[in-house]
A = this chain, B = another copy of it.
């Protein structure tokens, strides 16, 4: 548990594929074929990423997608937020009005410390970039994201 959804998995694959493609337009079908991802689901994800401005879309025949954000400025946190919505370690860090307010003890003895853990988690996810994921063969890629208190 504490697992990313499949949509995010598909998004990671797609975005990394686009990162490798550079400025070339790549269709959803090409990405799906290249990685064995179900095309309709991949398209759902790419449509979302287009709406959030993380990729540009080119419609029509010979159309497809291009990364709209440089891979080294495209964070994992941003990707998750685009596809799943904002990360919230626990409900009480979610300010959305539909999120049931924490009815537990007031003042909640955990609130402050959990909040810190939550912030640290987001810092962590914000330090991981698509470039880290896509170009793992770089010297020490994946070792770069540091989270220091």
Contact = CB atoms under 8 A, between A and B. Distances in A.
Copies of this chain in its oligomeric complex: 2
Nearest to A116: B142
Interface stretch (A52-60, A65-73, A133-141): A133-141
Nearest to A35: B105
Contact of A16 (B37, B109, B125, B133): B109
A44 to B, nearest CB: 16
A91 interface: yes
A21 interface: no
A149 B140 CA distance: 10
Interface string A76-119: 10001000111111110000000000011100011011101100
Nearest to A147: B147
A1 interface: yes
A90 B16 contact: no
